[in-house]
């Protein structure tokens, strides 16, 4: 049976990766190069799994398998977010065919590195707690239907609710760093989401007070990097503008009531 030239070419193709690694939080980062067999339609996760299957560097030297996180493999959980070719994105949805080689992979540096490509995103979840990003309920019993939302508000809320705390917007934001306590674009957008909800609005003033505090919305430099890297296309800059307006009105109202 004859083998097509295309099949032969595919079988001999390889993927060249340069991965920034780190043994533990206190170790210095270093780079290692890898070459893995190419497969049609493969993503960056598939490349990492090939390295895990055969942990050898580009020169054939045995190395420790690369450590990374993944879960859903459907761009829903955000666990596999890393910086690929200079852009924060999800390794599960980033296809090799759409990348220039060598493919550079490094962990998000906005967050503390645990090991290799694994980072601690606790900063994001702490920010969500600060803005009370939830809808409060009074008990677990049936309270009946709540106030209706207009179709327009429902559509806006749906767009905002697609955030899955991947960390891409935080990584891309120049105002989020180890010298800043900026809460981040995603948290501001989530505050907008829950302030829109008829029941969530019960805690509206608490969220606005949180955004007025240290690391709040005033530390946004309007770089607009966040909206460019968001994998879900969430209108983050629109949310920041909307919450800026709410915070201003809230501050003026508080001043006038003195």
Q: Residue 232 has what DSSP assignment?
A: T
pLDDT tens digit string along 107-151? Answer: 999 999 999 999 999 999 999 999 999 988 777 777 777 788 999
Q: Going by C-beta distance under 8 Å and a sequence separation of 6 or more, which residues neighbour residue 17?
A: 33, 34, 35, 36, 47, 51, 102, 103, 104, 105
Angstrom CA distances, 199 to 137, 143, 194, 196, 203, stand at 8, 12, 8, 9, 8
CATH class given for the domain over 122-256: mainly alpha
How far does CA 206 lie from the centroid of its chain?
25
Distance CA 193, CA 187 (A): 10
**May I ask the CATH architecture of the domain 5-119?**
Roll (3.10)
**pLDDT for 137:** 76
Do 234 and 228 meet the contact criterion of CB atoms below 8 Å apart? Answer: no
Single pTM value for the model: 0.89
Query: Of all residues in the chain, what percent are helix, strand and coil, respectively (each to 5)?
Result: 40, 15, 45
Domain ranges of the chain: 5-119, 122-256
Helices 204-212 and 185-196, interaxial angle, to 10°?
Answer: 160
Sort 67 into a burial class: Cβ within 10 Å, 0-12 / 13-18 / 19+.
middle
Task: Please determine, for residue 20, whether its predicted confidence score (pLDDT) is greater than 60.
Answer: yes
H, E, C per residue of 107-124: CCCCCCEEECCEECCHHH
pLDDT tens digit string along 215-240? Answer: 999 999 999 999 999 999 999 999 99
Distance CA 56, CA 36 (A): 10
Task: Please determine, for residue 67, whether its predicted confidence score (pLDDT) is greater than 90.
Answer: yes
% of the chain residues with pLDDT over 90 = 84
């Amino acid at each position: 049976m004859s083998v097509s030239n295309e099949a032969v070419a595919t079988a001999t193709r390889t993927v060249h990766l340069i991965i920034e690694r780190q043994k533990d939080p206190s170790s210095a980062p270093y780079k290692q190069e890898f070459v893995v067999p190419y497969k049609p339609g493969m993503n960056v996760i598939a490349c990492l799994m090939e390295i895990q299957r055969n942990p050898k560097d580009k020169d054939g030297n045995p190395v420790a398998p690369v450590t990374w996180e993944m879960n859903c493999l459907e761009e829903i959980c955000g666990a596999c977010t890393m910086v690929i070719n200079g852009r924060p994105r999800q390794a599960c949805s980033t296809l090799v065919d759409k990348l220039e080689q060598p493919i550079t992979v490094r962990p998000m540096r906005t967050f503390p590195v645990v090991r290799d490509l694994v980072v601690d995103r606790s900063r994001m979840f702490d920010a969500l707690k600060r803005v009370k990003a939830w809808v409060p309920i009074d008990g677990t019993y049936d309270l009946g239907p709540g106030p209706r939302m207009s179709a327009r508000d429902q559509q806006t809320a749906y767009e905002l609710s697609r955030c899955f705390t991947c960390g891409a917007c935080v990584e891309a934001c120049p105002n989020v760093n180890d010298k800043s306590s900026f809460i981040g674009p995603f948290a501001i957008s989530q505050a907008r989401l829950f302030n829109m909800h008829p029941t969530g609005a019960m805690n509206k003033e608490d969220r606005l007070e949180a955004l007025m505090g240290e690391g709040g919305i005033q530390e946004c430099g309007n770089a607009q990097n966040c909206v460019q890297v968001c994998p879900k296309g969430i209108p983050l800059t629109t949310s920041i503008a909307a919450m800026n307006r709410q915070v201003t009105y809230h501050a003026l109202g508080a001043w006038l009531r003195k």
